[in-house]
Amino acid sequence: MLSYLNILSFPLTSLLVEILSELKLEKREPRSLSRVHLVESVPVGLYESSPPPRRSIADSWLRLLQRANSSVDIAAFYFTLRASDTDLGGSADAQGREVFQQLKQLHARGVKLQIAVNSPQKSIRDTGELAAAGAEVREVDLQVVTGGIVHTKLWVVDQKHLYVGSANMDWRSLTEVKEVGVSVEDCSCLAQDAFRIFGVYWSLGGVNHTSLPPYWPARLSALSSSQNPLRLKLNGVPARAYLSSSPPQISARGRADDLSSILSVIDDAHNFIYISVMDYLPLSQYTQPVRFWPAIDSALRAAACTRGVHVRLLVSCWEHSPGSMFTFLRSLLVLSSPPLSCHISVNVFTVPSTAEQKKIPYARVNHAKYMVTDRALYIGTSNWSENYFTQTAGVGLVVNQTGSAVGPGQQTLQSQAEDLFLRDWSSPYSSPLSVDDQHPCAQ
């Protein structure tokens, strides 16, 4: 019935084209069922007059939970799916509550829920209640082994489906913060690889580690890497994909490290690099003394000034934006002046808030962390500053559909992400940073 309704809402011609192209594919190779969705959370009040057609992160999580048949494995920074009285949640946390309820019911449905969460947890209200309902929760204390935290946001369902993206397991991440993620269904090889990254956290959480194991067991070795990407079909379009993780100290054999995958995507770009990150800082943020960390910054300068690639950076403005970020960004912008005239532009994205919304702590911000080029898409979970790549645990997914045949009615993931980026870039919430803008974020 549901699919029948979907068919009715589909323009008939594109439906016919899709059926015909499926039939043609059928003859050459077995039909691939892997579906991928670029998903996002759009804060209440944003794009009100033109609601984005994309699936929301809340719906993608609920759908994954609905499909779960045997296991759900979640790696998370923290859990606050329900507002506390001081959060001014009201009914604003309805979606978070719904996700929480579905998680809580998994055990009764015979689905095993495993949660690897950063330690120490600020609040154990959600994880405690989930554990009481049958979930197995392991706290992972990376502080003692790498000096970082678990900042990952990763779901693996039945070792067949996965979600990765910027959204925390937080009610605000579903309705009050702008987030971008990817959900992939019926894609066992990628999901099994994600499960191996989860497995590292799980094993670190199993015992009181004060040091890392001398080696990681082979069952956690990477199934994909930049040299050996998985060859898949996503929504029918051939794709090469791999997962990367940070920090390198917790990478099992063969695992690409997150920074290298970002650099390789930058270095591979021919025409454009669009980056949407909350924070961009060529610094070590959490180690003393603070030091300059030019890895990504240098790669962007090289792309724009020696290869003529158009670089656009969309960063966030809110009360927690580090002032030094804008100084570094202005130093990039200077390169766009003659005689160099490198193609670099920077825009600042501000999520508007009502007086009431302003009171919600740590919300109303663009928290997305992804990069799209004319050649690939990178979707990650990390702020772009040193400690996220050297100490803090995060994951990235690289999808490359360059050169793939795209049938009528099909779209690559990278062109979907390009559309999403350009919508935000040219929206009323985004404004150009200028070289002499001293306080772009004064609100």
Ligand X SMILES: *[C@@H]1O[C@H](CO)[C@@H](O)[C@H](O)[C@H]1NC(C)=O
- From the candidates 126, 158, 258, 297, give the one annotated as an active-site residue: 158
Interaction between residue 21 and ligand X (CB under 6 A): no
Among residues 127 and 400, whose Cβ is nearest to ligand X?
400
β-strands 310-316, 272-276 pairing: parallel
Which CB sits closer to ligand X, 336 or 357? Answer: 357
172 binds ligand X (CB under 6 A): no
With respect to ligand X, which residue has the nearer C-beta, 226 or 410?
Answer: 226
Shortest Å distance, C-beta 10 to ligand X: 26
Burial tier of 57 (Cβ tally within 10 Å: 0-12, 13-18, 19+):
buried
**CA dist., res. 40 & res. 56, Å (int):** 5
Rounded to whole angstroms, the Cα distance separating 146 from 393 reads 9
Which listed residue (127, 251, 383, 390) binds ligand X by CB under 6 A? 383
Q: Which stretch binds ligand X (CB under 6 A): 126-134, 174-182, 347-355, 399-407?
A: 399-407
Q: Would you say 250 and 220 are in contact if contact means Cβ atoms under 8 Å apart?
A: no
3 state SS of 267 = helix
The verdict on whether omega for the bond into residue 440 sits within 30 degrees of 0, i.e. cis, is no
* Helix/strand/coil for 315: strand
Set 37, 104, 151, 160: catalytic member:
151
- What phi and psi, each to the nearest 5 degrees, are found at residue 234? -110, 120
Residue-wise over 97-113: b if at least 16 C-beta within 10 A, else e? Answer: bbbbebbbebbeeebeb
139 binds ligand X (CB under 6 A): no
Residues between 206 and 225 that touch ligand X (CB under 6 A): 208
Query: Where do runs of H (alpha helix) occur along 87-221?
Result: 94-105, 125-132, 172-175, 188-206
For residues 76 and 116, the answer to whether their CB atoms sit within 8 Å is yes
Stretch that binds ligand X, among 10-18, 375-383, 420-428, 433-441 (CB under 6 A): 375-383
Among 6, 13, 69, 354, binds ligand X (CB under 6 A): 69
| 270 annotated active-site | no
Between 66 and 208, CB nearer to ligand X: 208
Smaller CB separation from ligand X, 100 or 378 = 378
Compute how many residues bind ligand X; rule: CB under 6 A: 19
Select the residue interacting with ligand X from 260, 287, 402, 427 (CB under 6 A): 402
- Binding to ligand X (CB under 6 A) within 322-351 occurs at 322
**109 scored as a contact of ligand X (CB under 6 A):** no
Tell whether residue 400 is a contact of ligand X (CB under 6 A): yes
- Report the C-alpha gap between 441 and 135 in whole angstroms: 42
The answer to whether 374 is a known catalytic residue is yes
Give the residue numbers annotated as catalytic, written as ranges.
151, 153, 158, 367, 369, 374
